[in-house]
């Protein structure tokens, strides 16, 4: 039986820590202490030099004596939270639900995953059960398009399969696909002029932007792809024809080539509209994630399915247009999957988890460590 009281004590301790993206220092310090208390070898990388975080990624390893040459199994979660995330408080309700006080996120994304990994390790240590060589990784800045995991030196990993605890939804869920995600910014240059005295002498950059946006299919493009325009910045005063404006957005697609094709369409559309009015549009973009599909012969997946079957839990194979730290690991050839870790309504003040679900996930992790 999972020690629920200890599990929830750890969870509430972790959620009380302010750990916004790039400000994970306090969380990293507490996790390091807890891992060392369990007898794991702990290192922190220097990825902060790349990410801008005040902490690095935390990697810990438990090598079974006499099994130094055998494969490891990796379990991972991220240390950062989204906002509002300052002064979080966990409230435990009579029915077992755990919420914030309604003014912040709860932080189950991803403190639930961290607490579950730590509790599974504690129980294996106490019970003395035979288990695999184990690696655990706690990353920074996952919420900023996985920049912490992307900056991590994956070649240092000894595991041949990995489980990332970072999926919202029913217990047993697993992400079978993750998208290509491209962020873009378009800088539009027009010409300033007085909007009342000589509007015809100006080139209105906001008009260029609006015409281009209106001609694009913003939102859900098709079953694979979405296009978002999330920010427009520009103009200096109501009575000045705006000389410049910046438009920012993102593309997500289950098909990498479709994402690239849509990016070209966005670029061409803005350039055409700018040319019509005598302006200029320049697009800058960055691919943060690359689409992948977990193959049916994935060993990580088959072991997960076996454990779920033992526990009478249905494996729910789902597509996702979100991303996770599993993405950069799959890009580097690690057989990894992203699994449910008992969190719902994430990225909102309504976020919640519950005690029994967290205990169930801890049992799943524990069995994956020993399977």
Q: Which residues are catalytic?
A: 80, 142
> How far is 30 from 44, CA to CA, in rounded Å?
13
Q: Residues near 66 by Cβ (< 8 Å), separated by ≥ 6?
A: none
**Which stretches of 39-155 are DSSP H helices?**
48-51, 108-127, 147-151
Please give the backbone phi and psi of residue 164, each rounded to the nearest 5 degrees, phi first. -100, 120
Cα angle, residue 111 at apex, residues 88 and 360 outer, rounded to 5° = 125
Q: What is the DSSP string of 219-247?
A: EE-SSSEEEEEEEEEE-S-TTEE-SEEEE
Give the C-alpha separation, 103 to 84, whole Å. 8
Classify residue 267 as left (phi > 0), alpha (psi -120 to 50) or beta: alpha
- Closest C-alpha among 347, 289, 329, 345 to residue 76: 329
To the nearest 10°, the Cα dihedral for 198, 202, 205, 209? 80
In the three-class reduction of DSSP (H, G, I as helix; E, B as strand; rest coil), residue 214 is classed as helix
Residue 289, CA atoms < 13 Å, CB-side half-sphere: 30
């Amino acid at each position: 039986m999972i020690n629920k009281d200890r599990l929830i004590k750890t969870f509430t301790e972790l959620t009380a820590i302010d750990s916004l993206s790039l400000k994970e220092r306090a969380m990293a310090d507490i996790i390091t202490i807890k891992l060392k208390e369990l007898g794991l070898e702990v290192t922190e990388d220097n990825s902060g030099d790349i990410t801008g975080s005040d902490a690095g990624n935390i990697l810990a390893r438990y090598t079974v004596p006499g099994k130094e040459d055998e494969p490891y199994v990796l379990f991972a979660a991220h240390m950062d939270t989204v906002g509002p995330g300052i002064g979080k408080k966990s409230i435990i309700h009579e029915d077992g639900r755990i919420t914030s006080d309604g003014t912040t996120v709860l932080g189950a994304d991803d403190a639930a995953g961290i607490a579950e990994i730590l509790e599974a390790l504690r129980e294996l240590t106490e019970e003395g059960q035979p288990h695999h060589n184990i690696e655990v990784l706690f990353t920074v800045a996952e919420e900023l398009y996985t920049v912490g995991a992307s900056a991590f030196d994956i070649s240092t990993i000894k595991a041949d399969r990995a489980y990332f605890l970072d999926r919202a939804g029913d217990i047993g869920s697993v992400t079978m696909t993750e998208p290509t995600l491209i962020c873009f910014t378009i800088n539009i240059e027009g010409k300033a002029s007085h909007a009342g005295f000589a509007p015809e002498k100006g080139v209105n950059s906001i008009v260029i932007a609006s015409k281009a946006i209106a001609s694009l299919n913003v939102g859900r493009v098709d079953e694979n792809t979405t296009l978002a325009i999330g920010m427009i910045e520009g103009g200096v005063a109501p009575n000045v024809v705006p000389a410049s404006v910046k438009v920012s957005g993102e593309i997500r697609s289950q098909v990498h080539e479709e994402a690239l094709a849509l990016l070209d369409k966005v670029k061409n559309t803005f350039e055409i509209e700018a040319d019509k009015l005598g302006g200029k549009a320049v697009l800058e973009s960055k691919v943060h994630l690359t689409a992948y599909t977990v193959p049916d012969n994935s060993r990580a997946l088959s072991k997960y399915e076996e454990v779920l079957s033992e526990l009478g839990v249905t494996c729910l194979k789902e597509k996702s247009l979100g991303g996770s730290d599993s993405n950069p690991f799959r890009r580097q050839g690690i057989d990894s999957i992203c699994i449910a870790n008992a969190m719902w309504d994430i990225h909102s003040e309504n976020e919640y988890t519950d005690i029994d679900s967290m205990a169930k996930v801890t049992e799943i992790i524990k069995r994956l460590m020993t399977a």
